[in-house]
Structure 1
């Protein structure tokens, strides 16, 4: 006889297996990118409100220099552009992890850091969906900054999403 319910479960898993093994689809809906930018703006304004006085970080964190020279960016090959975006999200993710170890000092910013972390996870999935290969973590050619305040951290995060991430995705979707 069989175990009741096992057959439907196995059938369902058989239907789901191909879906679970596929790579993410490329994200080319501009509304999604606009939503990320809105979330970034909201989080950044919340940080400004929370940091009316000083919002020094418990320790400095290293992040990507988000300055973008559009002419230079467009001359870069896609692999190099993807590397820049991977490196930026990796450094921001590390910064969040580093700051989360300081539970009490970072308590007022837990929600904003969680939103940032969630967005960076989505960026990783978007990059994979566009076939961007993960960059080596020892890429020393990428300029970095040492950030010492929450305002600066969120400013860099905002610039990163609005700049390199948005440019990369827009150009990837145009191809």
Structure 2
């Protein structure tokens, strides 16, 4: 009888697997809720995706993690050129005067600008850890767009020309870009989801 060899998984590999699963959960959770909304029969008021904003809050935390990581990065983590980003400040009087479609278009325009800017950052960064953060951020933006479509907002069509200067500004560093990313999610994206879903929830 030959000797049996038993393989015990490396602890680091196991912990890495758990971490990857935890990072994927919010995206899977958002997708599941969207599918439930589309497939549940006979409900006059179907379940709204990420109604309690836990998924968005997780995306905001991941954006903050990317910002912190970028601030501590010393090599291979810069932008090669300046990029356009959305304005993050919110004038609540002006916001409330806009209808839901106008609010959604403003948010979708900002998400599109951030995605273009993060794609440029992804192409210029050589630091592997920062690349992982940027990849997560891009995937999260795509997930948010999917949620907006599930709320019956029409799909955003990118402009043929550059967006007007009143709606954008330019940043020249990766740290500034990631700070804008955090602030936009915390501000206009959160406001739109709260207004569109009319949920009662605890918002951290």
Q: TM-score, normalised by structure 2?
A: 0.66
Q: Runs of 5+ in structure 1 lacking a partner?
A: 1-18
Matches of 1:120 and 1:77, distance apart in 2:
23
Say whether residues 1:83 and 2:105 are aligned partners.
yes
2:48 and 2:197 in contact (8 A); partners too: no
Question: Which residue among 49, 52, 62 is the counterpart of 2:72?
Answer: 49
The structure, 1 or 2, with the larger RCO (C-alpha pairs under 8 Å, 6+ apart) is 1
Say whether residues 1:167 and 2:191 are aligned partners.
yes
- SS of equivalent to 1:57: coil
Say whether residues 1:38 and 2:61 are aligned partners.
yes
More deviation, 54-63/70-79: 54-63
Say whether residues 1:126 and 2:147 are aligned partners.
yes
Shift, 1:121, TM fit: 0.9
Shift, 1:56, TM fit: 4.2
Shift, 1:101, TM fit: 3.0
Q: Runs of 5+ in structure 2 lacking a partner?
A: 1-34, 40-46, 200-204
Say whether residues 1:153 and 2:153 are aligned partners.
no
Shift, 1:148, TM fit: 0.7
Count the aligned residue pairs: 154
Q: RMSD across aligned C-alpha pairs, in angstroms?
A: 2.7
Cα distance 1:66–1:111, how it changes in 2: closer, same or farther (>3 A)? same
Matches of 2:157 and 2:135, distance apart in 1:
25
Greater fraction helix: 1
Matches of 1:85 and 1:29, distance apart in 2:
19
Matches of 2:125 and 2:78, distance apart in 1:
14
Matches of 1:74 and 1:33, distance apart in 2:
22
Cα distance 1:164–1:154, how it changes in 2: closer, same or farther (>3 A)? same
- SS of equivalent to 1:62: strand
Matches of 1:32 and 1:108, distance apart in 2:
23
Greater fraction strand: 1
Shift, 1:165, TM fit: 0.4
Matches of 2:102 and 2:90, distance apart in 1:
13
For 2:118, the equivalent position in structure 1 comes to 96
Matches of 1:101 and 1:43, distance apart in 2:
16
Matches of 2:59 and 2:129, distance apart in 1:
22
